[in-house]
């Protein structure tokens, strides 16, 4: 998995890939993508604030759901 950061011109609600809570997208978006660039979903500011190690752990759990 990889991260993609994009400018966001739309102020719409997104669902966080990690905590599954709705949040309003801000000026920039953090998107989790596959190695091929296919987007899995956005990460909310609260989850980003928990740090890289915590996000990595959550994404490993997310990844194991799809490989099982």
Please give the pLDDT value at position 25: 81
Which residue is listed with tokens 């953090």?
Answer: 30
What domain range is 25 assigned to?
2-67
* Residue 22 backbone dihedrals phi, psi, to 5 degrees: -75, 140
Domain count, the chain: 1
pLDDT interval class at 68 (50, 70, 90): low
**Contact present, 29 and 2 (Cβ < 8 Å):** no
Please give the pLDDT value at position 46: 95
Quick: pLDDT tens for 26-66: 888 899 888 888 888 999 999 999 998 898 899 888 777 65
């Amino acid at each position: 998995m990889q991260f993609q950061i994009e400018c966001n011109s739309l102020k719409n609600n997104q669902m966080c890939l990690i905590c599954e809570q709705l949040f309003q997208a801000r000026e920039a978006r953090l998107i989790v993508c596959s190695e091929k660039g296919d987007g899995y979903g956005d990460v909310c500011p609260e989850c980003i604030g928990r740090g890289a190690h915590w996000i990595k752990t959550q994404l490993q759990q997310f990844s194991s759901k799809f490989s099982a």
